[in-house]
């Protein structure tokens, strides 16, 4: 038994996850390569290796002939009889080859072949390990800044967090642990190239899967996510069970679950809404926290017209249009938002809403545009400074 070789192969299998069979094949190939370098050919070389004991033998198959013209492929009958007396002309003799007889160059080439195979298998094992984590999250340790990129250690491989995949304003310290989304894993001659991201919307989804058991087991589905990394994320959720509140499950008791995700995202705001197959209802939910008067959605054109109260217009649009922009991404609809006044002027306000509010279409837009203070100046002017809020509310109700 070749105990030294067997122990070395067992160590490689345990520490580097390289199979013993793969290495035995590499040793066989290296022996054949050494014979080719030593004898000039390897066509008639046979390597026999015991997979259990790692004992091996190398033979050169030569044809028994009366007169030898090619010593590498032929052997005389006289020499063949010394190996096996039963051999005759035309038989094939197996000539044992001692690996110790190989020259220095042949031995070095065989060694390089084995080392190259080990490196290839190491890269393949690492690639397979991280390829399984593609489209998933991993925990990495910040190593250093390389220009504007960040080198991240993932364990058995390094990844580069490029500037485009970083959240603006996030600053990391060396040795800090961070969560990353694996966008893609490529196999290259120098090893696996791993592209990671902190801005990808799927990062939020995977973080919720890790925090919320209902999302992980499929009870609650995350139907859609729209994200502006570092600022705000909108997420639409749906429950496959009537007794499970999808929004409540994601928020958690006292907000523990959503806060855990927010902390990992360094304070990024997260809006969680109920998903609906009704486009109008979905758009209304997506525009929260703004209140909506009406939604007219066209599924064919993927466009929607939304009317909101005047005092909710800025909230519906959001700072620099963020709320409306995220709602459009979340729903997949092009959303046109108008205030109540604009809708009255253009005649787009639903009739049932006007009837419900007691509005008269003719002339109402003019009075409404003037504003409440101009319609009822005396009430506000005559109200004493120390009048409490309930009395003001009573005056407004009475005038309405």
Determine if the peptide bond prior to 85 is cis (ω within 30°): no
pTM score, whole prediction: 0.69
Asked if 339 and 315 touch (Cβ cutoff 8 Å), the reply is no
Instruction: Grade residue 362 by pLDDT with cuts at 50, 70 and 90.
Output: very low
Give the least confident one: 2-11, 36-45, 198-207, 339-348.
Answer: 36-45
* Residue 342, burial from CB neighbour count under 10 angstroms (0-12, 13-18, 19+): middle
Residue 274 sits in the same domain as residue 380: no
Residues 145 and 110 in one domain: no
| Mean per-residue pLDDT over the chain, rounded | 82
Question: CB of 78 within 8 A of CB of 53?
Answer: no
- Going by C-alpha positions, the residue among 48, 45, 58, 50 that lies closest to residue 20 is 50
| Comparison of pLDDT for 381 and 103, the residue scoring more | 103
Residue indicated by tokens 């523990």:
256
Q: How many domains does the chain have?
A: 4
pLDDT exceeds cutoff 90 at 390: no
DSSP letter for 227, please: E
- Residue 217: predicted pLDDT: 92
pLDDT class of 363 with cuts at 50, 70, 90: very low
CA pair distance 365, 378, nearest whole angstrom = 21
Task: State the CATH number of the domain containing residue 210.
Answer: 3.30.300.20
Residues 146 and 160 in one domain: yes
Residues 115 and 179 in one domain: no
Query: Phi-psi category of 178—alpha, beta or left, where left has phi over 0 and alpha has psi -120 to 50?
Result: beta
Name beta bridge partners: 271.
234
Specify whether 161 is located in the same domain as 191. yes
* Nearest Cα residue to 293 out of 313, 276, 314: 313
Res 379 pLDDT > 60 = no
- Burial of 95 from C-beta contacts in 10 A (0-12 / 13-18 / 19+): middle
Percent of the chain clearing pLDDT 70 (strictly above): 85
Please indicate, yes or no, whether residues 258 and 365 belong to a single structural domain of this protein: yes
In the chain, what percentage of residues exceed pLDDT 90?
A: 45
- Are residues 362 and 233 located together in one domain of the fold? yes
Secondary structure element (H or E) that encloses residue 12, with its range: helix 3-15
Contact call for residues 328 and 319 (beta carbons, < 8 A): no
What does the chain come to in residues? 400
What are the tens digits of pLDDT across the range 269-299? 999 999 999 999 999 999 989 999 889 999 9
Q: Are residues 123 and 211 in the same domain?
A: no
- CATH number, domain containing residue 16: 3.30.1480.10
- Is the domain of 120 the same as that of 36? yes
Q: Which of 128, 147, 178 is the last residue of a domain?
A: 128
Query: Is the predicted pLDDT of residue 341 greater than 90, yes or no?
Result: no
Highest mean pLDDT among 27-36, 108-117, 145-154: 145-154
> Could you write out the three-class secondary structure of 240-287?
CCCCCCHHHHHHCHHHHHHHHHHHHCCCCEEEEEECCCCHHHHHHHHC
Q: Where among 197, 218, 240 does a domain terminate?
A: 197
What is the C-alpha to C-alpha distance for residues 388 and 381, in angstroms, rounded to an integer? 15
CA end-to-end span of the chain, whole Å? 101
Asked whether residue 235 falls in the same domain as residue 272, the answer is yes
Is pLDDT at 220 greater than 90 in this prediction? yes
Least confident of 14-28, 171-185, 203-217, 261-275: 14-28
Residues 16 and 102 in one domain: yes
Give buried/exposed letters for 384-397 (b at 16+ CB in 10 A, else e). eeeeeeeeeeeeee
Element (H, E) at 174: none
**Do 17 and 84 belong to one domain?**
yes
Q: In this predicted structure, what is the pLDDT of residue 364?
A: 41
Tell me which residue range forms the domain holding 393: 373-399
The pLDDT of 322-350, averaged and rounded, is 87
Instruction: Give residue 353's pLDDT band: very low, low, confident or very high (50, 70, 90).
Output: low
Question: What residues are paired with 236 via a beta bridge?
Answer: 224, 273
pLDDT tens-digit readout, 243-268: 999 999 999 999 999 999 999 999 99
Q: Considering 197, 215, 230, which residue would you say is the last residue of a domain?
A: 197
């Amino acid at each position: 038994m070749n105990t030294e070789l067997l122990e070395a192969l067992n160590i490689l299998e345990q520490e580097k996850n390289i199979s013993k069979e793969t290495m035995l094949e590499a040793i066989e190939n290296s022996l054949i390569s050494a014979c080719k370098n030593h004898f000039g050919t390897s066509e008639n070389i046979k390597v026999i290796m015991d997979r259990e004991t790692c004992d091996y033998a190398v033979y050169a198959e030569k044809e028994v002939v009366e007169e030898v013209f090619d010593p590498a492929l032929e052997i005389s009958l006289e020499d063949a009889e010394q190996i096996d007396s039963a051999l005759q002309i035309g038989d094939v003799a197996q000539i044992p080859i001692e690996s110790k007889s190989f020259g220095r160059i042949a031995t070095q080439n065989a060694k390089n072949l084995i080392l190259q195979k080990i490196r290839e298998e190491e890269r393949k094992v690492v690639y397979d390990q991280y390829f399984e984590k593609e489209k998933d999250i991993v925990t990495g340790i910040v190593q250093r800044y390389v220009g504007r990129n960040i080198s991240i250690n993932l364990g058995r491989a390094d990844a580069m967090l490029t500037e485009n995949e970083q959240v603006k304003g996030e600053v990391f310290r060396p040795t800090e642990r961070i969560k990353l989304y694996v966008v893609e894993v490529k196999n290259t001659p120098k090893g696996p190239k791993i592209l990671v991201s902190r801005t990808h919307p799927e990062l939020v989804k995977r973080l919720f899967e890790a925090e919320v058991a209902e999302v992980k087991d499929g009870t609650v589905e995350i139907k859609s996510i729209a994200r502006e990394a570092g600022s705000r994320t909108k997420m639409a959720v749906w429950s496959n069970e009537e007794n499970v509140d999808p929004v409540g499950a994601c928020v958690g008791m006292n907000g523990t679950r959503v806060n855990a995700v927010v902390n990992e995202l360094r304070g990024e705001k997260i809006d969680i809404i109920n998903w609906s197959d009704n486009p109008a209802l979905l758009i209304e939910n997506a525009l929260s926290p703004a209140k909506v008067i009406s939604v007219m959605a066209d599924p064919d054109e993927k466009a929607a017209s939304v009317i909101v109260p005047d005092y909710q217009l800025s909230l519906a649009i959001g700072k620099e249009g963020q709320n409306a922009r995220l709602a459009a991404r979340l729903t997949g609809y092009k959303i046109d938002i108008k205030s109540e006044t604009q809708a009255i002027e253009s005649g787009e306000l639903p009739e049932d809403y006007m009837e419900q509010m007691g509005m008269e279409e003719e002339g109402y837009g003019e009075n409404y545009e003037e504003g409440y203070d101009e319609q009822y100046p005396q009430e506000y002017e005559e109200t004493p400074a120390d009048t409490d809020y309930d009395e003001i509310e009573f005056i407004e109700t009475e005038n309405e």
